[in-house]
Amino acid sequence: MLMSFQLPPIPEAILNTEVTITSNSGRDDFGNLLPDATNKSMFRYEFEKLVNKTEEGLNIRYVVNLFCNKLNFVVNEGDNISFAIPDYCLIKGEVQSVSFPPNPDGSIHHFEIVVGEVTEHGL
Number of Cβ atoms within 10 Å of the Cβ of 21: 23
Taking the C-alpha atoms of residue 104 and residue 101, their distance in angstroms, rounded to an integer, is: 10
pLDDT at 26 over 70: no
How would CATH label the architecture of 14-121? Answer: Beta Barrel (2.40)
pLDDT band at 25 (very low <50, low <70, confident <90, very high): confident
Name the pTM for this structure: 0.85
Identify the pLDDT of residue 10.
95
What is the residue extent of each domain of the chain? Answer: 14-121
Name, in order, each residue with C-beta under 8 angstroms of 84's C-beta and a sequence gap of 6 or more. 17, 90, 91, 123
For residues 33-57, give the mean pLDDT. 91
